[in-house]
Amino acid sequence: MIGIVSHAGDLHTQAVAGHLDRRGAGHRLLDTSRVPTAAALTSRQRPDGTWTGTWSDADGDLDLADVRAVWWRRPQPFVLHDEVTRPHDRGFAHGECAAMVAGLWSCMDARWVNDPDRDEAASRKMWQLQLAARAGLRVPRTCMTNDPDEARAFVAAEPDGVVYKSFSATPRTWRETRRVRAQDVGTIDAVRFAPVIFQELVPGGRDVRATVVDGRVFAAEIRAGESAYELDFRIDTTHAPITEHRLPPPVEERLVALVRRLGLRYGAADFRVGPDGEHVFLEVNPAGQWLFVELATGQPISAALADLLVRLDAD
Residues in contact with ligand ADP by the rule CB under 6 A? 140, 163, 165, 169, 177, 199-202, 207, 231-233, 270, 272, 282-283
Using the rule CB under 5 A, which residue among 8, 80, 169, 257 binds Mg ion? 169
Q: Taking the alpha carbons of 12, 14, 19, 23 in that order, is the dihedral positive or negative? A: positive
What is the distance between the alpha carbons of residues 105 and 311, in angstroms, rounded to a whole number? Answer: 20
Please check whether residue 39 is in contact with residue 3, taking contact to mean a CB–CB distance below 8 angstroms.
no
> Minimal distance in Å, beta carbon 285 to Mg ion?
4
What is the distance between the alpha carbons of residues 302 and 308, in angstroms, rounded to a whole number? Answer: 10
Instruction: Say how far residue 265 (Cα) sits from the centre of its chain.
Output: 12
Binding status of residue 285 toward Mg ion by CB under 5 A: yes
> Minimal distance in Å, beta carbon 199 to ligand ADP?
4
What is the distance between the alpha carbons of residues 97 and 137, in angstroms, rounded to a whole number? Answer: 40
Please check whether residue 30 is in contact with residue 72, taking contact to mean a CB–CB distance below 8 angstroms.
no
Q: Compare residues 13 and 285 and give the one whose CB is closer to Mg ion.
A: 285
Q: Compare residues 140 and 286 and give the one whose CB is closer to ligand ADP.
A: 140
> Minimal distance in Å, beta carbon 289 to ligand ADP?
10
Q: Compare residues 56 and 166 and give the one whose CB is closer to Mg ion.
A: 166
Question: Parallel, antiparallel, or unpaired for β 27-31 and 40-45?
Answer: unpaired
> Minimal distance in Å, beta carbon 178 to ligand ADP?
8
Q: Give Dmax over CA atoms of the chain in angstroms.
A: 69
Name the binder of 19 from Mg ion, ligand ADP, none, CB < 5-8 A by kind: none
Q: Compare residues 41 and 163 and give the one whose CB is closer to ligand ADP.
A: 163
Q: Compare residues 74 and 94 and give the one whose CB is closer to ligand ADP.
A: 74
